[in-house]
Structure 1
Amino acid sequence: MSPRPAPSADSRLLDALRADLDAARFTVGGVESVLGPLAAAALHREQDVPAVRATTAALAGPRPDAVAVLTHAFVLGRPVPRRLLDDALPGLGVGGAVRLGLAEAAGADADDEVRAVVDLRPYEAVDAAGDARWWLASDLGELQTGVRLAGDHVLGAGGASTTLAQVTMRTPVGRVLDVGTGCGVQALHAARHAGHVVATDISPRALAFAAFNVALNHAQPLADVPRAEAHVGERGAADVELREGSMLEPAAGELFDLVVSNPPFVITPHTGSPLPDYEYRDGGRSGDAVVRDLVRDVGSVLAPGGVAQLLGNWEHRRGEPWTERVGAWLDEAGLDGWVVQREVQDPAEYAETWIRDGGTTPEREPAAWAQAYGAWLDDFASRDVEAIGFGIVTLRRPDPAGPAGGRVTMRRLEEHTGSVRQPLGGHLAATLAAHDWLVGLGAAGTSSGTPDDAASLGALAAARLVVAADVAEERYLTPGAADPNVVLLRQGDGFGRAVHASTALAALTGACDGELTVGQIASAIAALFDVPAGDVAGELLPAVRGLVVDGFLAPSSWS
């Protein structure tokens, strides 16, 4: 465990730090400008040699830029002379940084070394609500310290954090629950579109970092951890309340409009490995039980119509398709569910990824690496695991006042490993809205539990639709041919889906401008091709329903 306490949330010192970081223009762009494109790209790959060379050269000048000093000290974890950090943080000073728990000083002389004891860096992301810019503190990583991470390590905003922030729907809501908040980044995102945010974590150290980050990036001070409140001020409108406890337990008996979670989903062996369990990633349960239990239980804290969005891993077991395994979780949850598998790794790849994640490498610790690797493979083999999936889970508690009258109508499990257009949050929200529109119309389709009969398709035929602005049509022809071999409808936003369209479906889609009903367009196409109108409608209407769900077409009333 870490011998150092987490940083303090002293409001007076944080005011000075915030002002200094603002004045220094300590931003993502500022850091990349100091490093240059080569070093910045290398640092994104967890290679710091070019970055250290760049900041060392900048610090050797007569008046080093403040961003170079802050990057060298807090991003790269390298010592700097006291005088340089005093200049870079003129309001806070080294003394204030030490009292906040950000740094330790070897002495009081101008040339004595000062070394950061936490990682403090600018953070930028674009979510469905727009641009987000903060500074985030977390524990120094293996790249900065050169040693394996402690079990209570508090992670900064990594790739999974950014993914969750970008896929989360940002519709204004009353109450948000952030399960497993870590350094607090999801709570900060939620505070921009919620009335109140509750953030939970089992780690007191993580909650202390979250308290620091919320206080640093908001105008008002925090109370003591583990139960703290922050008033957002000019950067948002929500209070952020921090609670200590495991998963949903600190929020038992309460209801929320949105639940977000980047839970400790890593599937970790609990016997035979020399590595510690890491609080930020290891849930302490066998296999994928952490994600399974969260999916099954999160409905207990969802208000009617409330949405839960989380990331997770699940096991692909021999003889059991992953869709059946995860689908059973959805059945037990009794919620609308949409699961998108984004990546699949075999057990060896998975073991390598997460052993390295904790700072253990075969070069530095060959015996520990081999022992941990073997423990991971043995653990997977004990459950006949052939692969591990990673993806996005969206759940919703049916609303009795909604179009489905409280019935579960969505059960969708799919794989999409290609590129996506982030942020996805707006697209996911639009997909749920399209699904509800079809449910209200009586045309949601058999995959959602609604009969696929003539009446439901007839309701869709009476609708007026428009083509989404991001949809393009692609035609592929054999040289010299008059007609295309393949017609694709391609989506530029969201998942970037491509749909193989018949000539008739392409014609119908192109004619959807909100003036004519789907049925009228289908009848015109039937007359053009001299085929029975019923045959054309039978072919096109189910396909149109799919185009509506996936965002290619939308009701004209939404325009």
Structure 2
Amino acid sequence: MTSPLVFALRTDLDSAAFSVTTLTELWGAEADAALHRNERVPALRALTVRRNENGPEASATLATIFVLGLAVKRDDLAAALPSLGIDGAIELGLIEVTGSEVRPLLDLRPYSFVDGAGAGSWWIVSDLGELALGRPLSEEHVLGVGGASVTLSGLMMQTPVGSVLDLGTGCGIQAMHAARHATRVVATDISKRALELAALNAALNGISNIEFRFGSLFEPVRGERFDQIVSNPPFVITPRAEGVPAYEYRDGGMEGDALVEAVLRGAAAHLNPGGVAQMLGNWEYRVGQDAFRRVGGWLDGTGLDAWIIERDTQSAAQYAETWIRDGGTKPGTPDFDRLYAAWLDDFEARRVTEVGFGYVTLRMPLAGSPTLRRLERLHGSLGSNEAGLGLHVGAVLAAHDWQAERSDSELASAHLTVAPDVTEERHYWPGAEHPTAMMLRQGGGFGRTVRMDTALSALVGASDGDLSVGAVVAAIAQLLDVDYTELLAEILPRVRDLVDDGFLLPAGNDAIA
């Protein structure tokens, strides 16, 4: 049940129209972009001009103290929070009072998104970042909505389910997203402070179907199974050395990538048949050993289907620099150099040359259903596609099952159509009659590109749902004057790949239920 103080805060934030749109209007798109680079001067200058012209506005006051992390006048905040009041804000742990000024103790900012249920917006409370603190983060820091959070929420499948487990909930953002398509959500974390802030966020946004539990990894749900597991676990590879901060939000306390291995292996005991687990993770490349071979080995014996996509890699040195900066330690300082050396020593001890980052989707197969073991590297930017990946992942899994359950003769009898986001691209030498290259491009999903030959291009072009695959191939064989049986045998595996990747869709009576 929402406390009166939380209800009062929600009322004030709503009255002030404290939203992503409002903030962008307050300081402009350029300042907004600068904030994403951890630079607040442009936003502060814009707010100062606006304040001088119009006097203190509630939204500007709230943005200054809770987003920019700067002190404001006590009277201005009291005016911006008329229902909660200064005493209520103190009791909720949002602020401290210093004379006529108030300073933030927590970060509070709007967050907007679009998922399968439509557009939504929340307010998210987390710990102050290094910009507001002016120093490195504490090891108990509770992170707000970052890039990894947005990636996982976009990747999350949104099929309605009975139960979801959010493993390592942090500020609660994944549990809140899951609550939109689940009857109940269990959110766990090893940090009691994280659980307190996650519960506050759920209450602040009127979400009541989340249960919060304290404990490490799967300990709080021992013996329980779920329809879906989501996890942005503390997967960052951190040296186990004295003097190296172990941030709870990113460090699972294990050596190397053992934390990711533990979550992958542990998921099998906590998924219902047909249940899916999705997470982000890192894996090490070691001298003489392919990372995907190691990751595939983690899954052996679990009985789980797996679809793992590596989105990027970093050298050992780049990885160290990234995560030392993430903790707020500035380059060029003695502390940065000391931590850098510790990271490189740790990697050298395991002969690590680089680290991969990617998405993991696991599934507990139903009895008799086709198996899936797919490990692939899709490096490069997804651009705006990432936000809608959850729907694509669900569709691709269903498409894989559809084609895997069909024999070659059944697939030849099926009717297919081209997905609406697919385009064809052809390249010609100047003056040439025939193309030198033909490619299919995917506008959504993972933005894949597939190179085609004449036969495959003709099949895709004729896939409008009217004719079966076999009938189309027969016409192509006659046109090209080749043997139908040989062409069909050559083209069917490629058709399966195009169905798997979402280029071709079953049509008519063959459509996926």
TM exceeding 0.5: yes
Aligned to 1:349: 318
Following superposition of structure 1 onto structure 2, how do residues 366-515 of structure 1 map, counting pairs within 5 Å?
A: 366-400=333-367, 403-404=369-370, 409-420=371-382, 421-422=385-386, 423-441=388-406, 456-515=407-466
Q: Which runs of 5+ in 2 are unaligned?
A: none
1:288 equivalent in alignment to 2:239: no
Paired position in structure 1 for 2:60? 68
Cα distance in 1 for residues equivalent to 2:36 and 2:450: 35
Cα offset for 1:62?
Answer: 4.8
**1:90 Cα deviation after fit:** 1.5
Tell me the distance in 1 between the aligned counterparts of 2:284 and 2:353. 8
Letter of the 1:163 partner, please give it.
Answer: T
1:244 Cα deviation after fit: 0.1
1:301-354, CA deviations, whole angstroms, 9 ceiling, x for partnerless residues? 000000000000000111111221111112243200011001100011111110
The answer to whether the 8 A contact 2:281-2:358 is kept is yes
- Paired with 2:145 and 2:210, the residues of 1 have a C-alpha distance of 18
Letter in 1 for 2:344: L
CA separation of 1:105/1:10 partners in 2, compared to 1, >3 Å: closer, same or farther? farther
- In structure 2, how many angstroms separate the alpha carbons of the residues matched to 1:261 and 1:131? 23
C-alpha separation in 2, matches of 1:105 and 1:382: 49
Deviation at 1:370, TM superposition (A): 0.9
C-alpha deviation, 1:105, in angstroms: 1.3
Asked if structure 2 preserves the Cα contact closer than 8 Å seen for 1:309 and 1:395, the reply is: yes
Which residue is equivalent to 1:245?
A: 215
Deviation of 1:275 after TM superposition, in Å, equals 3.1
Using the TM superposition, give the Cα deviation of residue 10 of structure 1 relative to its aligned residue in structure 2, in angstroms: 6.5
1:194 aligns with 2:182: yes
The aligned counterpart of 1:339 is: 308
What is the match of residue 225 of structure 2?
Answer: 255
Equivalent positions of 1:153-232 (< 5 A) are: 153-218=141-206, 231=208
* Matched ranges for 1:323-338 at <5 A: 323-338=292-307
- Deviation by residue 1:242-274 (Cα, 9 ceiling, x = unmatched): 0000011101111100000000000000115x2
Q: Report the more deviating stretch, 316-325 or 123-132.
A: 123-132
Q: Does structure 2 retain, via aligned residues, the 8 Å contact 1:127–1:168?
A: no
Deviations 1:42-61 (CA, angstroms, capped at 9, x unpaired): 11111112122222333334
Q: Provide the C-alpha distance between the structure 1 equivalents of 2:359 and 2:220, rounded to a whole number of angstroms.
A: 24
Structure 2 residue matching 1:515: 3-state secondary structure: strand
Describe the superposition over 1:198-255 as per-residue Cα deviations: whole angstroms up to 9, x where unpaired. Answer: 000000000000010000001xxxxxxxxxxx62xxxxxxx10000000111011111
Whether the aligned pair in 2 keeps the contact of 1:180 and 1:262 (CA below 8 Å) is yes
- The amino acid across from 2:257 in the alignment is D
Residue 284 (structure 2) aligns with: 315
SS across alignment from 1:520: helix
Residue by residue over 1:401-440, the C-alpha shift from the partner in whole angstroms, topping out at 9 and shown as x without a partner, is x633xxxx11111111223213100110011001111222
| Cα drift, residue 63 of structure 1 | 2.4
CA-to-partner distance for each residue in 1:485-523, whole Å, 9 max, x for gaps?
101011111011111011111110111111211011000
DSSP-derived class of the 1:30 partner: helix
Alpha-carbon separation, structure 2, partners of 1:281 and 1:132: 27
Distance 2:202 2:137 in 1: 24
Give a deviation string over 1:160-207, Cα, whole Å, max 9, x none.
Answer: 000000001000000000000000000110110000000000000000
Superposition TM-score, scaled by structure 1 size: 0.89
1:103 pairs with 95, 103, 110, which one? 95
**Distance in 1 between residues matched to 2:43 and 2:298, nearest whole Å:** 45
C-alpha distance in 2 between matches for 1:332 and 1:22: 51
On the 8 A contact 2:312/2:380 being kept in 1, the answer is no
The letter of the residue matching 1:466 is T
Instruction: Determine which of 473, 477, 484 is the counterpart of 1:522.
Output: 473
Percent identity of equivalent pairs: 55
User: Within 1, Cα distance between the matches of 2:240 and 2:494?
Assistant: 48
How far residue 149 of structure 1 moved from its aligned partner, in angstroms, is 0.7
Q: Is the 8 A contact 1:337 1:393 kept in 2?
A: yes
Name the CA distance, whole Å, in 2 between partners of 1:297 and 1:162.
24
**CA distance in 2 between partners of 1:266 and 1:62 (Å):** 46
Q: Does 1:86 align with 2:78?
A: yes
Aligned to 1:225: none
TM-score, normalised relative to structure 2: 0.97
Return the offset for 1:129. 3.5
C-alpha contact (below 8 Å) 2:308/2:361 kept by paired residues: yes
Between 242-251 and 414-423, the greater mean CA deviation after superposition: 414-423
Partner Cα distance (1:35, 1:94) in 2: 26
CA distance in 2, matches of 1:436, 1:338: 13
